[in-house]
Amino acid sequence: GAPVTVPDLHERKRRAEKIVSITSYDASIAARADEAGVDLVLVGDSLGMVVQGHTSTLPVTVDAMVYHTACVARGLRRALLVADMPFMSFRDPATALTNAARLMAEGGAAMVKLEGAGWVCEVIDALKRHEVPVCAHLGLTPQSVHRLGGYRVQGRASADAQRLKADAKAVQDAGADLLVLECVPATLAAEITQELRIPTIGIGAGAACDGQVLVVYDLLGITPGKRPRFTKDFLASTQSVVDAIAAYTHAVRSGEFPAAEHSY
């Protein structure tokens, strides 16, 4: 099919067609994802944990993101390529513009993703005005792990839920084209999805989001340690990596994944 574009994502929301996304860090998985019909491939800064073996995403550098984004770009023909802006790489608008330019010009990304709202809205606005499409990321923001005190569900208390809703509106108003919601109650993600004009992509955020994303190693059952509630090993019931990614793609499109057992 024709390459997926940023305007296509908005069209998907209007048509109520799910957006399917997985992470990738290399050309081989990227090619398999593309072949399986994934719409959006994210070079996540989860790189720091699942590829580099760190206990958080904080050590990931812009150089590493540019390198892996360029690797993934060579594997893609159709899917939209999104690259994460790592910790501190978007701390002010000027720094964000410099680093986003590298992810796009050297890495080949069509969009960058950054965590947070508040002061981040000013950064989103600057990127948007300089023709950098932006995916926002709210809820459990792993770059905030030390402030949050761990990786856990966000927005359970009603004050937190209200703040999350306000933040979601704020990043949309700042110019974000897309919003990842990570580890928030399914009912809250459903309300945000309904209130926003831009598509939401959930991970541990229930089935009502406009799309879903998973770390590819979770989807393939490779990630060591305890399986997080929101993930599913799609390779367990299929014969190959492409089949597993295709099964995930189908399950997202049909609304079978995530089920209640994968949600909060």
Which residue from 13, 19, 23, 143 is in contact with ligand KIV, where contact means CB under 6 A?
23
Which residue from 32, 33, 46, 108 is in contact with ligand KIV, where contact means CB under 6 A?
46
Helical ranges in 142-263 per DSSP H: 145-148, 158-174, 186-195, 216-219, 241-254
Query: With binding defined as CB under 5 A, does residue 116 bind Na ion?
Result: no
Q: What separation, in Å, do the N-terminal and C-terminal C-alpha atoms of the chain show? A: 35
> What part of residues 12-51 is at the interface with Na ion (CB under 5 A)?
44-45
H or E, element range at 13: helix 6-15
Total count of residues recorded for the chain = 264
Using the contact rule CB under 6 A, the part of the chain among 39-47, 102-110, 157-165, 223-231 near ligand KIV is 39-47
As measured in angstroms, the least distance from the Cβ of 201 to Na ion is: 12
Tell me the C-alpha distance between 129 and 127, whole Å.
Answer: 5
Inter-axis angle of helices 62-73 and 27-35, nearest 10? 50
Q: What is the token pair recorded at 202? A: 């959930």
Question: Is 113 within any annotated ligand binding site?
Answer: yes
Which residue from 4, 22, 31, 45 is in contact with ligand KIV, where contact means CB under 6 A?
45
Q: State the catalytic residue, choosing from 17, 122, 182, 195.
A: 182
As measured in angstroms, the least distance from the Cβ of 112 to ligand KIV is: 12
Question: Is 84 within any annotated ligand binding site?
Answer: yes
Is the peptide bond between 3 and the residue preceding it cis, with omega within 30 degrees of 0? no
Using the contact rule CB under 5 A, the part of the chain among 67-75, 78-86, 193-201, 214-222 near Na ion is 78-86
Question: H helices then E strands: how many in the chain?
Answer: 11, 8
The contact pattern for ligand KIV, residues 198-227, with x = CB under 6 A and - = no contact, is: -----x---------x-x------------
As measured in angstroms, the least distance from the Cβ of 218 to ligand KIV is: 9
> What part of residues 82-101 is at the interface with ligand KIV (CB under 6 A)?
84
β-sheet bridge partners, residue 41 = 22, 81
| φ, ψ (nearest 5 deg) of residue 181 | -115, 115
Tell me the C-alpha distance between 264 and 261, whole Å.
Answer: 8
From 194, 166, 170, 192, select the one nearest 181 (Cα to Cα): 192
As measured in angstroms, the least distance from the Cβ of 239 to ligand KIV is: 26
Q: 56 and 48 in contact (C-beta within 8 Å)?
A: yes
**Nearer to Na ion (CB atom), residue 84 or residue 177:** 84
Q: How many CB atoms lie within 10 A of CB 108?
A: 18
35 is catalytic: no
Question: Is 34 within any annotated ligand binding site?
Answer: no
> Which residues are part of a known binding site for Mg(2+)?
45, 84, 115
Q: Which residues bind ligand KIV (CB under 6 A)?
A: 23, 42, 44-46, 84, 180, 182, 203, 213, 215
> Which residues are part of a known binding site for 3-methyl-2-oxobutanoate?
45-46, 84, 113
